[in-house]
Amino acid sequence: MARPQELMQIKHLKYIDPLKLAEIISQNYAEKNWVFLYSALNNNIKNSLSFIALFPQKEIVANDFSAAKKAILASKKKWFGYLSYEVARQFEKLPKTKKSFIDLPQIYLMNFSVIFEFNHAEKKLIAHFEDEKLLQKILNWQRKKSPENKFFVKNFDSNFSNNSYLEEIRQIQQMIACGDFYQTNLTRKFFGQFNKKFNSENSFNLFKKLSRLSPGNYMSFLKINDAKIISSSPELFLEIKNNKILSRPIKGTSPRSSNAKEDLQNKIFLKNSPKERAENLMIVDLVRNDLARICKAGSVKVKNLFKINSYKTIHHMSSEIIGEVAPEFTVFDCIENCFPAGSMTGAPKIKAMEAAAQKEKLNRGIYSGAIGFIDDKNQQLNLSVVIRTLIIAGDKFEFQVGGAITYDSKPENELLEIFSKAKAILKLINKKQS
């Protein structure tokens, strides 16, 4: 009989780079699902953690958040996985959209027999496990020579053409002028087929390459049956620990340049842009309102307003909103009141989501949802916003990018922003901008 996860054994191990251990696992462990949450850019930040979880015990595969919640409450375990954007329909009345190119369950969460926890700053590695033999089996796996990924994209399409995307932006601006909403996040899905199917190992090779092309604070690799989720998200949706809640929305973007002078100009432009600051402030207010529903009165504060973070392919503007969760609320209440991330919707939230759904017509799926873990026992969670994410299932792939559309948006600039955000994934799949 399996030992309950809350009684799992703990062992301190010699520290190893989590990316190296994850690569070894990808080469030796092909048959079952596993998860890698990688804090690629947080190596020197105190309490910055990465996780590798493998050998699943139980899985929650659902399109119903209340059913998933019930299963988690009954288990008192740490669950890793994702919530798709369409889970929001269970909290609000929203228009239905068509199935995505890769149609996955709205909710996929797993608990595991072995969890590796990496503390980057302190160079500590802790293994949580049930069976010593199983742990030793993993630790005895050896790195192998990876085969070359000889693949190419043979089909490539999108839910918008460049011209139709520009036209939809103009129509949204007319809706804003009529007072329907202030801003909406219009996204564009790209999808197609490779010349071959991808297994766990060669999919992880893409993740490893993405970690070099576009490292993010909340990178993740999820192998879920035939699907592989390869994410380099820079954005935190929600973090809860010791009753403290944090959200760090990103809104405001400027491209990087190989020319140092031009790159600095792009950064300064973003920092001082009235349009970008207004976009960011709208979402900060939205997130403040979301958190105020589940936080102690007066505890919700804004920190690091309009902070500029520079990544390999892009400059981003972000802000932090913090609060203290009121004692009557659980991690599930926090998700229900804040999901999906305001940076992926617009403001007011529901009106903006309605407009985006009418224009996009396809389910966003995992994109704009959340990836991470939920720990009901300790009332903890850490969920990233699913952006900069490639999904592969067999030989099929999809990814999605978007931007905030306001009355002051310049449609041509918004189109350029789409491709700035897609730059790393397009390079990853050897596809030139079209």
The band of 7, judged by pLDDT with boundaries at 50, 70 and 90, is low
Which of helix, strand or coil describes residue 268? helix
More confident residue, 10 or 31: 10
1-141+148-434 is classed CATH 3.60.120.10: yes
48-62, 163-177, 182-196, 249-263, range with the lowest pLDDT? 249-263
The band of 8, judged by pLDDT with boundaries at 50, 70 and 90, is confident
Could you give the angle at the alpha carbon of 166 between the alpha carbons of 165 and 170, nearest 5°? 115
Has residue 247 got a pLDDT over 90?
yes
Give the model confidence (pLDDT) of 14-48 as tens digits.
Answer: 999 999 999 999 999 977 999 999 997 765 555 68
The band of 90, judged by pLDDT with boundaries at 50, 70 and 90, is very high
Give the model confidence (pLDDT) of 395-414 as tens digits.
Answer: 999 999 999 999 999 999 99
List alpha helices for 140-255, DSSP H.
Answer: 162-177, 200-213
Residue range 288-312: mean pLDDT, rounded: 94
Listed by start position, the domains of the chain span: 1-141+148-434
Per-residue pLDDT, 45: 56
Give the Cβ contact number of residue 359 at 10 Å.
Answer: 22
Q: Which helix (H) or strand (E) holds 179?
A: none
Query: Can you tell me the distance from the alpha carbon of 167 to that of 416, in angstroms, rounded to the nearest whole number?
Result: 14
Q: Report in angstroms the alpha-carbon separations of 349 from 106, 153, 181, 316, 342.
A: 20, 36, 9, 21, 7
Query: Can you tell me the distance from the alpha carbon of 296 to that of 300, in angstroms, rounded to the nearest whole number?
Result: 8
Q: Is 418 exposed, middle or buried (0-12, 13-18, 19+ CB in 10 A)?
A: buried
For the chain, the C-alpha Rg in angstroms (whole number) is 21
